[in-house]
């Protein structure tokens, strides 16, 4: 039987969430990673500021993982799972990160993009996103290229800046619609806005304005964070059961009220899994299939196979 440490070497280098179980199948710990392989291997090579986990590492009997499409998605999935259940070795409860939305106000009196902590129908809202600072930095990046708030400048200094930017009331609707296109992840709009941020960062560096260049880089990083694919926490309060199957292993992700809050895997014959997999929404199929294949591979590498896969959190 292959050791959990050896199994960790077979994890993908991409971001995701990992779960440790003891020999009896009890969940010990849930974490997230920028690189699953590097992070999980570190438990056996360098605990760094986590010496309190040494006793837990000695008890790890199995490594499980979900391969996510972005770090943002991994952060959301970890949060959702820990809100539902906190294993013994997790110190922090779920839900510590700030949840926010970006609101687009296109009205004449106070146009602009704003951080909102709740989504309403009063104006278009986008998200949810994790991380208050990153959301604010992303809004700053959007405003930098799309200065919607100056489209109806009220006082003298604001009007002067609007004039310098070449922005007037007639630009309000165009700026708002462009911002909405970006936040809806229209590929052309996203690419154009990011390219403009990069151009301004590089120009600032060439002019030796390093503080501005650093600020722009922070805004680009935040913009990339909110634009990254993320489907484990949705604006719509949807309920769904998502299934993937591979080599005798059925992986199930449970979404309730727009939050993916449960992840299980168990041994299932292909015939019994077929209808569930077929009923999975298209937006989830690649994610579910990839993770079913990962679960089956880790069990196979572990030397246990499908017969021992019936544990649930």
Cβ(20)–Cβ(81) under 8 Å? no
DSSP 93: P
Q: What's the pLDDT score for residue 155? A: 61
Average pLDDT (218-231) is 97
Q: How far apart are CA 113 and CA 202, in angstroms?
A: 25
Q: 109 vs 285, which has greater pLDDT?
A: 285
Q: What's the pLDDT score for residue 110? A: 81
Q: What's the pLDDT score for residue 236? A: 92
Q: Which two tokens stand for residue 22?
A: 């003891």
For 266, the 3-state DSSP assignment is: strand
Q: pTM for the whole thing?
A: 0.91
For 32, the 3-state DSSP assignment is: strand
- Write the CB contacts of 4 (distance below 8 Å, at least 6 apart in sequence): 20, 60, 61, 62, 63, 302
Preceding amide of 128 cis, omega within 30 = yes
Could you give the domains of the chain? 1-69 (3.40.1440.10), 99-227 (no CATH), 232-313 (no CATH)
Q: Which two tokens stand for residue 79?
A: 């949060």
């Amino acid at each position: 039987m292959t050791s959990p440490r050896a199994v960790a070497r077979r994890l993908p280098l991409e971001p995701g969430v990992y779960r440790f179980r003891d020999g009896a199948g009890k969940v010990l710990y849930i974490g997230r990673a920028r690189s699953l392989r590097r992070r999980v291997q570190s438990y056996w090579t360098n605990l760094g500021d986590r010496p309190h986990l040494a006793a837990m590492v000695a008890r790890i009997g199995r490594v499980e993982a979900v391969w996510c499409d972005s770090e943002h998605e991994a952060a959301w999935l970890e949060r959702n799972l820990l809100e539902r259940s906190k294993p013994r070795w997790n110190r922090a409860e779920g839900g510590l990160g700030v949840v926010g939305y970006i609101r687009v106000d296109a009205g004449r009196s106070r146009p602009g993009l704003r951080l909102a902590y709740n989504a309403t129908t009063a104006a278009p809202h986008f998200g949810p996103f994790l991380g208050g600072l990153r959301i604010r930095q992303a809004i700053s990046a959007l405003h930098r290229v799309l200065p919607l708030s100056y489209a109806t400048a009220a006082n003298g200094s604001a009007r002067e800046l609007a004039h310098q930017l070449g922005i007037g009331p007639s630009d309000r609707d165009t700026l708002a619609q462009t911002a909405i296109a970006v936040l809806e992840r229209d590929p052309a709009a996203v690419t154009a806005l990011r390219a403009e941020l990069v151009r301004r960062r590089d120009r600032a560096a060439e002019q030796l304005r390093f503080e501005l260049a650093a600020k722009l880089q922070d805004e680009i990083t935040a913009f990339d964070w909110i634009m990254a694919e993320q489907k484990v926490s949705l604006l719509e309060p949807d309920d769904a059961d998502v299934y993937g199957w591979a080599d005798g292993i059925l992986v199930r992700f449970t979404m309730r009220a727009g939050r993916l809050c449960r992840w299980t895997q168990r041994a299932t014959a292909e015939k019994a899994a077929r209808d569930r997999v077929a009923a999975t929404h298209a937006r989830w199929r690649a994610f579910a299939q990839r993770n079913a294949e990962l679960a089956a591979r880790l069990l196979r590498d572990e030397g246990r196979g499908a017969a021992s896969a019936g544990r649930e959190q």
